Amino acid sequence: MSVMIQLSELHFSSEDGIKVLEDVHLHVDRGELVLVIGPAASGKSILLGLLGTQVRPQLGQILVHGRNIARLSQAKLADLRRQIGIVPQNFVPLPKTVLENVAFKLRALGDFREQAEEKALAALELVDLTSRLTAPARELEPLDRVRLGLAIAICNEPLLLLLDEPFDALSAADQEAICRLLEQIHLLGHTMVVATRGPLPAEVKASRIVHLSDGKVIE
Amino acid sequence: MSTFFYIFGDLLRAVNRHSAGLLLGVVGILFAGLGLFACLFLLGAPASPAPASAPTVPAGQILVELSPTLSSSQIDALYLQIRDRADVATITYRLPEELGTEQGAFFVRPVNLGGTRALTEALSAISGVVHVVSPTGSTARSGPLALSSGVKIGLLVGMIVCLISSLIVGRLAFRRVLAGFRGEIRMMRLSGTEERTILPPIIALGVLCGILAGALLVVAVAVLHYVATAQPGALLHAASGLVASGRVLGVSIAGFFLGVLLGGLIGALGASLTQSREFQDYA
């Protein structure tokens, strides 16, 4: 099985010098679903930001899909970013309809309208949101918001999916629904890294669970 | 190109009433600056010196040189206007061919020589009259306008003030517009859209402001040119640059492109705002 993510001796400090990540080693194989669990401010979001090439690494090596992100030019970083789907923490959709939210990303990436709508519909069907296509996205329930975030993340068929606190503010039943959805997407062959502060929903089925505490990884 | 227009359309939809007001303010300030630029060239033409081959003035008469753009009916009207004055004894019109000049002229004899100075000044104030020479040798020139150095410096300072103001108001306007477009920018950055796709529509919004200001200038200059040439009696006729079609065309084109350039500068300033943290997730 080929390696999708390889982190070695990764360190990261905030602007005011606080150590956020300290000597992190982690590898994620292609097709794995890895859960990163840690309390608030343990460095989960920074870790996902680094993996998603949204945060510039400071010290250590980050290989994503075989590419060292510290050495990539801006253009190549953008190219890599297109192969990574991210659902940020507290995802806030655009003030558009559900369909337009997904189509916006695809249009911005260069797809024509028909092509974008076709891909958007496929992604929304996968997350079971086709009944809300014309609904204003900002009026969605928390569960549907996460579904929409997932649809936006997967609509261009990325190699890697990063989800930051997808279970936040969800009821136990909604968390289980998201777990089933993640499993369904995972079965399609996506590599996924899900960061959460826990507790984990009973239905969660991960390839591996990684604990992050005080910036250190405990597998 | 399709992506550019799609994002540009979305950006325009993010413009709300307040940011639209600020953008119109930018257009207004740019227009004012371009107007000052145009004044510099259209009003500031140096007064042409009296021709070397100026006709000789017979003793006791006043020479009244007319604008070359006057039509024959306008010359007739001026003739009657001067003839009917109580202080004018006689008036004779000479054709340009007779005088060997570009324009025709009136020779006016005052009723009494003591009132020559007052009559000279009165005649020079009439629109359509460009030069008056009295028998004593004193001359009065009613046009074209000649801008003093002080006025020119004032116009330049005004242009610089307008430029700085447009940058300040432009920055405010773009901050407002981009506040309503923040989600889209964050999503584009998160999904790997390149900066060369994200930034051009924002710069284009500035260019659009410049195009509007430039187009307003072209319309304003065209209207003033029309008024100045169609109504020689109007005060505008004294602005020699406004009656010269070539100069009007040149200033209009230069002003328009200057507007586009300044709009682009404001747009680039606006686009630079998107580099701040609020436009990036995980910043």
Q: Pinpoint the alpha helices (H) of A71-200.
A: 74-81, 98-108, 113-126, 142-154, 172-187
CB contacts, 8 Å: A117 with chain B: none
How confident is residue A93, by pLDDT bands cut at 50, 70 and 90?
very high
| Domains identified in chain B, total number | 2
Span B113-155, pLDDT tens digits? 778 888 887 887 787 787 788 776 555 554 455 677 888 899 9
Q: How far is CA A55 from CA A49, A129, B125, B280, in A?
A: 5, 31, 73, 10
For tokens 């413009």, what's the residue?
B15
Average pLDDT, chain A: 90
* B44 pLDDT more than 80: no
**Chain A: nearest CA to B192, how far in angstroms?**
4
* Same domain? B90 vs B188: no
Longest dimension (CA), chain B: 92
- Interface residues on B facing A, Cβ-Cβ cutoff 8 A: 2-3, 6-7, 10, 183-184, 187-195, 197-198, 280-283
B8: nearest CA partner in chain A: A108
What is the C-alpha to C-alpha distance for residues A26 and A8, in angstroms, rounded to an integer? 7
Q: Is A75 on the interface with B (CB under 8 A)?
A: yes
Backbone angles phi, psi at A42, to 5 degrees: -90, 0
pLDDT, tens digit (0-9, with 9 covering 90-100), for B145-166: 567 788 889 999 999 999 999 9
Which pLDDT tens digit goes with each residue over B46-70? 444 444 455 677 778 888 888 777 8
Q: What is the ipTM of this complex?
A: 0.89
Enumerate the domain spans of chain A: 30-54+80-218
Residue B263 lies in a domain: yes
Predicted confidence at residue A142, as pLDDT, reads 92
Both B40 and B93 in one domain: the answer is no
Contact list in B for residue A108 (CB cut-off 8 A) is: 3, 6-7, 184, 187-188, 191, 193, 197-198
pLDDT value for A15: 84
If asked whether residues B225 and B198 sit together in one domain, one would say: yes
**B71 strand-pairing partners:** none
* Final residue of a structural domain among B77, B105, B140: B140
Domain boundary among B140, B162, B197: B140
Mean pLDDT of B32-41: 91
According to DSSP H, which parts of chain B are helical?
A: 2-13, 17-42, 72-83, 96-99, 116-124, 149-179, 182-190, 195-230, 240-243, 245-272
At residue B274's C-alpha, the angle toward residues B273 and B277, to 5°, is: 100
Are residue B34 and residue B111 in the same domain, yes or no? no
Residues of A in contact with B195 (CB under 8 A): 74, 78
Confidence at residue A126, expressed as pLDDT on a 0 to 100 scale = 93
What are the structure tokens assigned to B245, written together? 């079609």
Domain CATH number, residue B120:
3.30.70.3040
Question: What is the per-residue pLDDT across B186-219, written as a single tens digit (0 to 9) for each?
Answer: 999 999 999 999 999 999 999 999 999 999 999 9
**Is B240 a domain residue?**
yes
Whether B203 and B255 share a structural domain: yes
Note every long-range contact of B75-84, with CB atoms under 8 Å and residues 24 or more positions apart, other chains counting: B75/B104, B78/B106, B78/B126, B78/B128, B78/B129, B79/B106, B81/B126, B82/B106, B82/B108, B82/B123, B82/B126
Q: What is the pTM of this model?
A: 0.76
**Residue B71 included in any domain:** yes
Taking a C-beta distance cutoff of 8 angstroms, is the pair B42, B247 a contact? yes
Q: Which one of A52, A54, A104 has the shortest CB-CB distance to B184?
A: A104
Which structural domain range is residue B92 located in? Answer: 62-140
Closest chain A CA to residue B6: A107
Contact A212, A197 (CB under 8 A): no
User: B153 and B29 in one domain?
Assistant: yes
| Sign of torsion over alpha carbons A13, A18, A21, A23 | positive
Residue B126 sits in the same domain as residue B71: yes
* Amino acid at site A156: N
Based on the fold, state whether residues B205 and B256 are members of the same structural domain.
yes
Write down which residue in B140, B162, B181 finishes a domain.
Answer: B140
Assign a CATH topology to domain A30-54+80-218.
Rossmann fold (3.40.50)
Write down the pLDDT at residue B278.
Answer: 83
